[in-house]
Amino acid sequence: MMGRFSQFAVGATQLALDDAGLRITPSLSRTTAICYGTSVAGLELAITGVQDFIKDGVDEIKPWTALEYPPHAASSALAIEFGIKGPALSVSSNCCTGIDAIRSAFLQISIGRATVAIAGAADAPIFPAIFGSFCTLGALTKRNDEPQRA
């Protein structure tokens, strides 16, 4: 039921914990902070929900949509998946979101609210409306004839 960006956040966090050799124990869970960010979040879920509503009415909107499109969905998913009970912060500041999440994690440790922090960012903007908006913005290459050089 998780939005794709939340799935990426959980997968990346599991890999990071494995690489660090860190296990979130019950005692560590209370002093572990989550500082996770996203730029687009689960916007595709919100758009799909609106499309379902327009097509078939409110009863056709999937009930978990309201829980999985907001920017805080990734932090919430991490807290649930890893049993983390410390502060869970969500950051959304466009392309610099990941670095802002790292700074937030640093601050949580430096002010003594956490002894460990999980920091990162995840997005999954491959959805027609989002992809199209990046195209019209001019943020994507038009060199599709030479993908190796794009």
pLDDT tens for each residue of the chain, 150 residues long: 788 889 999 999 999 999 999 999 999 999 999 999 998 877 777 777 788 888 888 887 777 777 777 889 899 999 999 999 999 999 998 889 999 999 999 999 999 999 999 999 999 888 888 888 888 998 888 888 887 877
Query: What integer pLDDT is reported at residue 59 of this predicted model?
Result: 83
Quickly tell me which residue has 């979040």 as its tokens: 41
Residue 48 belongs to domain spanning: 33-137
Number of structural domains the chain divides into: 1
Q: How far is CA 8 from CA 4, 13, 20, 66, in A?
A: 6, 8, 18, 19
Query: What integer pLDDT is reported at residue 111 of this predicted model?
Result: 97
Q: Are the C-beta atoms of 65 and 46 separated by less than 8 Å?
A: yes
CATH number for position 59: 3.40.47.10
What DSSP line would sit under 60-74, residue for residue? GS-TTHHHHSSTTHH
Does residue 87 form part of some domain?
yes
Does residue 70 form part of some domain?
yes
Tell me the residue ranges of DSSP E strands in the chain: 32-37, 88-91, 116-121
Query: What integer pLDDT is reported at residue 2 of this predicted model?
Result: 84
Which residues contact residue 143 at a Cβ distance below 8 angstroms, ignoring those fewer than 6 apart?
149, 150
